[in-house]
């Protein structure tokens, strides 16, 4: 088999013997990893999957049945723009770098490894979910997300192998050695060590945590290090489907709940997810995902921006690309009260990115609320304050209610299960999880999708069980 068959790519891999050999050596380890901690119990099934075959906007994806271990994980970078200039920071206007500048080597490696680590982590977190999929349509979507996270890992490992020498190869091996939730070798970021053992959590994860990924990828797609910019730009294309799975998955749960409420029934008693429980899962996953943006006031974020390594969301839409003037107001806790503190914009870059994220999440919640409204249900869902339940940044170690008001530790302990899933809530959600693996059938706690994948009906046999 030729290399281009084994590792589909548009980076002329076959012209670079060293790189090719390095990736050929890494591939069996990747496949071992996939077999041992990838989706459990479905590796022999034919799954109707989308495979990236190019980066052309029309026709980049090919749909067909494939067994997951035979998925063609490829390396695709959006085409290079030879005129491209660095769009922000201290090197604003300079030509972009095709190789890693020596002084930025550690910074870039750390950023790439942190992004890369999330990709296999989520596959590990979701590995048992197939057994309890609410429909074949959902089962297929889970596997689509999983194989694409695998491809994102390939994209980042390609950068490590191509541009970081021996260190890069070691980092690529480490990416397959860490394990989500492992006390000795955990994944790097908190949300990627949380178990995802039910489908409500899966939809919340793809809604909120994959959406963090979207904004991180946008910020990296502005990078002055051109190979990183081009790799992440193409990853964003695939990431859109992951968030679709989350946003519509949550919407379908809300729809089913609303239907039962309209009939005057108690969703929980009917084997569905009651709205208060849904809200608690939302609060949990939204806040875990807020943490992924890092500290509100961050000299690291300032350094990344100054160096031209990580920009803002759609940097071109900003007016001042150097951002050395201007302030950003952050509410901080001082002397037991919230006071507004002015921070230099560069030090608030995480918060600037988080603002875009919050706005995008709100749009999703608005959609769910329209579903409630259409069903004639008066209750509404909402995003909690961004200070609530934080474990990173300036609010970590403090306690706030969902409105963002300070609480004492005792108040928090007494009230936290008003806002976060209790053991009973988790047990209820878990009790709903039974696999439905017949074409056209669906579990009772979720509404079917309004349409299928790639023009197929919901009843289509998205996964052929072997």
Which residues here bind Fe ion, judged by CB under 5 A?
A: 119, 149, 152, 210, 239, 242
In whole angstroms, give the CA distance from residue 321 to residue 319.
Answer: 6
Closer CB to Fe ion, 156 or 273, in the complex: 156
Give the DSSP per-residue string, 102-158. Answer: GGGHHHHHHHHHHHHHHHHHHHHHTTTGGGG-SSHHHHHHHHHHHHHHHHHHHHHHH
Minimum CB distance to Fe ion, residue 240 (Å)? 9
Do the Cβ atoms of 308 and 231 come closer than 8 Å? no
In whole angstroms, give the CA distance from residue 417 to residue 140.
Answer: 34
In whole angstroms, give the CA distance from residue 408 to residue 178.
Answer: 36
Minimum CB distance to Fe ion, residue 300 (Å)? 22
Minimum CB distance to Fe ion, residue 288 (Å)? 15
Minimum CB distance to Fe ion, residue 89 (Å)? 25
Closer CB to Fe ion, 109 or 152, in the complex: 152
Closer CB to Fe ion, 239 or 401, in the complex: 239
Closer CB to Fe ion, 198 or 239, in the complex: 239
Look up residue 172 and give its DSSP letter.
Answer: H
Q: What is the number of alpha carbons within 13 Å of residue 91 lying toward its C-beta?
A: 21
Closer CB to Fe ion, 151 or 256, in the complex: 151
Closer CB to Fe ion, 146 or 298, in the complex: 146
| Strand 463-464, strand 327-334: pairing | unpaired
Tell me which H or E stretch contains 443.
Answer: none
Minimum CB distance to Fe ion, residue 293 (Å)? 16
| Burial degree of 423 (CB within 10 A; 0-12, 13-18, 19+) | exposed
Closer CB to Fe ion, 291 or 351, in the complex: 291
Minimum CB distance to Fe ion, residue 362 (Å)? 20
Do the Cβ atoms of 127 and 438 come closer than 8 Å? no
Minimum CB distance to Fe ion, residue 302 (Å)? 26
Identify the three-state secondary structure at position 345.
helix
Closer CB to Fe ion, 191 or 297, in the complex: 191
The 8 Å CB, 24+ separation contacts for 99-104 are 99/163, 100/163, 100/164, 100/225, 104/225, 104/307, 104/309
Q: What is the number of alpha carbons within 13 Å of residue 279 lying toward its C-beta?
A: 14
Identify the three-state secondary structure at position 95.
strand
Using the Cα atoms of residue 219, residue 224, residue 228 and residue 232 in order, give the sign of their dihedral.
positive
Identify the three-state secondary structure at position 221.
coil
Closer CB to Fe ion, 220 or 352, in the complex: 220
Minimum CB distance to Fe ion, residue 331 (Å)? 31
Minimum CB distance to Fe ion, residue 30 (Å)? 15
Identify the bridge partners of residue 97 per DSSP, sorted by sequence position.
Answer: 225
């Amino acid at each position: 088999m030729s290399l281009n068959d084994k590792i589909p790519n548009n980076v002329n891999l076959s012209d670079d013997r060293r790189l090719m050999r390095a990736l050929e050596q890494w591939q069996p380890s990747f496949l071992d990893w996939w077999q041992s901690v990838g989706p459990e119990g479905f590796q022999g099934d034919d799954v109707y999957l989308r495979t990236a075959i190019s980066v052309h906007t029309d026709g980049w994806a090919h749909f067909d049945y494939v067994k997951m271990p035979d998925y063609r994980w490829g390396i695709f970078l959006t085409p290079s723009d030879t005129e491209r200039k660095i769009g922000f920071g201290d090197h604003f206007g300079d030509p972009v770098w095709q190789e890693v500048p020596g002084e930025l080597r550690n910074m870039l490696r750390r950023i790439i490894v942190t992004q890369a680590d999330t990709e296999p982590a989520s596959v590990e977190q979701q590995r048992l979910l197939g057994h309890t999929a609410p429909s074949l349509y959902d089962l297929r979507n889970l596997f689509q997300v999983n194989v694409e996270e695998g491809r994102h890992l390939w994209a980042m490992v390609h950068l490590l192998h191509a541009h970081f020498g021996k260190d890069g190869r070691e980092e690529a091996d480490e990416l397959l050695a860490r394990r989500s939730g492992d006390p000795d070798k955990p994944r790097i970021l908190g949300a990627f060590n949380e178990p995802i053992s039910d489908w409500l959590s899966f939809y919340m994860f793809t809604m909120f945590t994959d959406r963090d990924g979207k904004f991180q990828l946008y910020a990296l797609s502005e990078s002055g290090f051109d190979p990183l910019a081009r790799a992440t730009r193409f990853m964003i294309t695939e990431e859109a489907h992951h968030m679709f799975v989350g946003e519509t998955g949550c919407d379908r749960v809300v729809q089913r709940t609303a239907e039962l409420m309209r009939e005057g029934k108690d969703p929980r008693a009917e084997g569905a997810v009651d709205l208060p429980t849904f809200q608690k899962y939302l609060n949990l996953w939204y806040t875990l995902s807020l943490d992924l943006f890092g500290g509100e006031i961050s000299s690291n974020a300032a350094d990344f921006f100054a160096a031209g390594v990580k920009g803002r969301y759609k940097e071109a839409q900003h007016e001042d690309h150097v951002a050395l003037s201007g302030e950003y107001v952050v509410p901080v806790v001082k002397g037991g009260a919230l006071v507004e503190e002015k921070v230099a914009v560069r030090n608030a870059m995480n918060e600037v990115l988080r603002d875009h994220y919050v706005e995008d999440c709100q749009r999703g919640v608005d959609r769910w609320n329209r579903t409630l409204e259409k069903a004639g249900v008066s209750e509404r869902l909402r995003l909690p304050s961004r200070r609530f339940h934080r474990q990173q940044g300036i609010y970590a170690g403090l306690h706030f209610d969902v409105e963002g008001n300070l609480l004492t530790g005792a108040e928090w302990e007494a009230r936290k299960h008003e806002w976060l899933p209790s053991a009973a809530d988790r047990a209820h959600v878990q009790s709903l999880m039974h696999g439905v693996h017949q074409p056209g059938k669906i579990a009772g706690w979720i509404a079917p999708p309004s349409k299928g994948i790639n023009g197929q009906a919901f009843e289509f046999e998205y996964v052929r069980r072997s």
